[in-house]
């Protein structure tokens, strides 16, 4: 084992490029250390920002109950169950180190595929898949559908329906012959083989993005999603799609229709929603098709990245994990197989 004196002597012999490389490496290690040292405390403070409660029954009648593997345990005097700071979060039941989760969060902030994350973090693909969806289930709960106000641009986009990951062995029956991975939907126009994702963005960049139906969107689908989520006196801007007319009338919203080729209408335009759709489509390409039952999680992943795009990367890595531990979620690996697509 070399002591620091020897290492320092060795460092003197390094080239500028090697020194820079070493400098970056040390920086990374120090950040990782400080993150993993502070994360449990940060998570606990965010999670119990309104006071400590039991994740099983929400009672506040809890006491400390010793430590297990260095982690503080608590006992609820109301329901008698024990828990720790990560019970019912993305990080519950994990055998992996906190450092592994931090590395994983880093890969997710960069938008890497399941396989790429697995390679970088040095875990198997199956584990990578579970970590991804445990984090995203929690993030979905943390963010919620949300609200928009003021000038609101709205439009819908489509994602090809996919049964990827549904195994015949578990009794799944394919409703149609499978498409080749990443292949476009054959039918012309919009069919029921496409999942409609409704989106709305206001001028504060508040974003709603949800799966609403298969095929063309009807005004009733829009109402189901947006009712109670658009503040009064808002002005919605849409393209010429007819469903928005009935929708705006029924919800008593001021409605500006931007006809094709007339994108400039002062402050009333749909440029932001159009550019959001381009970003979303481009971002999704890397995944080569997403199983419809997990699509909602990818929508929230995209929404989270949009929401916090201004933050520094290191803050994002930390916050992704904090946001994965704030709400009480009960994602169990056994439930992944039987999961159904989540339409609003
Ligand atoms: Zn309890």
User: Do 300 and 136 contact (CB within 8 A), yes or no?
Assistant: yes
Q: How far, in Å, is the centroid of ligand 1 from the Cα of 72? A: 16
Between the CA of 189 and the centroid of ligand 1 the distance, in Å, is 53
Residue 36: its pLDDT value, please? Answer: 82
267, 248 contact by CB (below 8 A): no
Q: How far apart are CA 225 and CA 295, in angstroms?
A: 17
Give the pLDDT score at 35. Answer: 83
What pLDDT sits at residue 167?
Answer: 60
pLDDT of residue 28: 82
Ligand 1 centroid, distance to 157 Cα (angstroms):
43
Please state the rounded mean pLDDT for residues 77-81.
96
Calculate how far, in angstroms, residue 300's C-alpha sits from the geometric centre of ligand 1.
Answer: 30
Residue 82 Cα to ligand 1 midpoint, Å, equals 8
Residue 330's pLDDT band (cuts 50, 70, 90): confident
* 301 neighbors 108 (Cβ within 8 angstroms): yes
The per-residue pLDDT for range 53-65, each reduced to its tens digit, is 999 999 999 999 9
Whether 1 shows a pLDDT value over 70: the answer reads no
User: How many residues would you count in the chain?
Assistant: 344
Q: What band does 9 get if pLDDT is binned at 50, 70 and 90? A: confident
**Are the CB atoms for 235 and 150 separated by under 8 Å?**
yes
Decide: helix, strand or coil at residue 197.
strand
How confident is residue 39, by pLDDT bands cut at 50, 70 and 90? Answer: confident
Give CA–CA dist 262/91, Å, rounded: 49
Strand residue runs (E) in the chain: 62-68, 71-76, 82-84, 151-160, 194-202, 207-214, 235-238, 254-257
Phi and psi dihedrals of 203, rounded to 5? -80, -5
> The dihedral of CA 58, 324, 89, 207: what is its sign?
positive
CB atoms within 5 A of ion ligand 1 belong to: 54, 56-57, 59, 76, 78-79
Residue 185: pLDDT band with limits 50, 70, 90: low
Angle at 281 between CA 144 and CA 174, to 5 degrees: 80
For position 262, what pLDDT does the model report? 66
Domain 151-166+191-317 maps to which CATH number in 3.30.420.10, 3.40.50.300, 3.30.70.120, 3.40.50.720?
Answer: 3.30.420.10
Angstrom distance (rounded) from CA 47 to CA 59? 15
Predicted pLDDT of residue 176:
66
Spell out the domain ranges in the chain.
52-85, 151-166+191-317
Tell me the CA–centroid distance for residue 88 and ligand 1, in Å. Answer: 13
Tokens for 340, please give them: 């159904």
């Amino acid at each position: 084992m070399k002591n620091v004196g020897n290492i320092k002597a060795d460092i003197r012999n390094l080239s500028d490029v090697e020194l820079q490389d070493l400098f970056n490496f040390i920086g990374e290690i120090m950040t990782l250390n400080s993150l993993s040292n502070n994360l449990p405390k940060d998570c606990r403070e965010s999670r119990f920002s309104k006071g400590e409660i039991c994740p099983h029954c929400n009672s506040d009648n809890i006491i400390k109950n010793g430590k297990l593997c260095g982690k503080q345990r608590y006992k609820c005097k109301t329901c008698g169950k024990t828990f720790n700071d990560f019970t019912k979060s993305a990080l519950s039941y994990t055998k992996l180190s906190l450092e592994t989760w931090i590395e994983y969060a880093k890969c997710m902030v960069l938008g890497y595929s399941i396989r790429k994350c697995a390679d970088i973090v040095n875990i198997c693909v199956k584990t990578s898949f579970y970590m991804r969806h445990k984090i995203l289930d929690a993030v979905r709960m943390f963010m919620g559908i949300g609200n928009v106000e003021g000038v609101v641009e709205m439009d819908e986009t489509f994602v090809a329906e996919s049964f990827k990951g549904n195994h015949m062995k578990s009794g799944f029956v394919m409703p149609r012959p499978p498409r080749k991975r990443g292949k476009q939907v054959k039918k012309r126009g919009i069919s029921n083989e496409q999942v409609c994702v409704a989106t709305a963005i206001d001028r504060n960049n508040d974003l709603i993005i949800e799966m609403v139906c298969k095929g063309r969107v009807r005004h009733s689908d829009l109402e189901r999603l947006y009712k109670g989520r658009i503040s009064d006196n808002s002005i919605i801007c849409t393209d010429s799609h007819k469903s928005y007319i009935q929708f705006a009338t029924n919800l008593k919203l001021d409605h500006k229709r931007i006809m094709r080729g007339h994108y400039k209408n002062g402050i009333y335009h749909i440029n932001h929603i159009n550019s959001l759709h381009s970003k979303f489509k481009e971002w999704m390409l890397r995944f080569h098709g997403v199983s419809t039952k997990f699509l909602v999680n990818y929508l929230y992943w995209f929404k989270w990245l949009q929401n916090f795009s201004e933050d520094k990367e290191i803050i994002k890595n930390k916050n992704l994990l904090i946001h994965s531990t704030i709400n009480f979620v009960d994602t169990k690996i056994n439930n992944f197989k039987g999961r159904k697509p989540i339409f609003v």
